[in-house]
Amino acid sequence: TYVVTDNCIRCKYMDCVEVCPVDCFYEGDNMLVIHPDECIDCGVCEPECPAEAISPDTEPNLDKWLKVNAEYAEKWPNITIKRDPPADHKEFDGEEGKFEKYFS
Ligand code: SF4
Ligand code: F3S
């Protein structure tokens, strides 16, 4: 599966949802996650994310993010249509430790 990681938080571009062939993105207040049981590993979302927040879970040190994606994909609603990102999203691009500060 692919996973959404820290830099999505408060950037939330939503370009990813437009390209996913199986519509497996789920939406929290300031981040999206991928449902690991629905993702077919096609990889098309990874280069579409302007925040470079999507990675395959075969990359190292993504255990925490796999858990976050799996847990919240079950709790949050599905999202298939891109909307405008938050007005201040550029301010948060690249900030460290966004999960601890802002995750919701
Ligand atoms: Fe969707 Fe493919 Fe990205 Fe998985 S890798 S979330 S199936 S676009
Ligand atoms: Fe987040 Fe990137 Fe999608 S910032 S909403 S994973 S396009």
Q: List the chain pLDDT tens, one digit each, 104 residues.
A: 999 999 999 999 999 999 999 999 999 999 999 999 999 999 999 999 999 999 999 999 999 999 999 999 999 999 999 999 999 999 999 999 999 999 98
The ranges assigned to domains in the chain are 2-81
Please give the ipTM for the structure prediction. Answer: 0.97
- Nearest residue CA, atom 1 of ligand 1? 20
For the full predicted model, state whether its pTM sits above 0.90.
Answer: yes
Quote the tokens at residue 96: 């460290």
Q: Indicate the fold that domain 2-81 takes in CATH.
A: Alpha-Beta Plaits (3.30.70)
Q: Is the CB of 14 under 6 A from ligand 2?
A: yes
Q: Which residues approach ligand 1 with their CB closer than 6 A?
A: 2, 19-20, 22, 24, 34, 39-45
Say if residues 6 and 99 touch (Cβ distance below 8 Å). Answer: yes
Distance 57 CA to ligand 1 centre (A): 12
Distance 80 CA to ligand 1 centre (A): 12
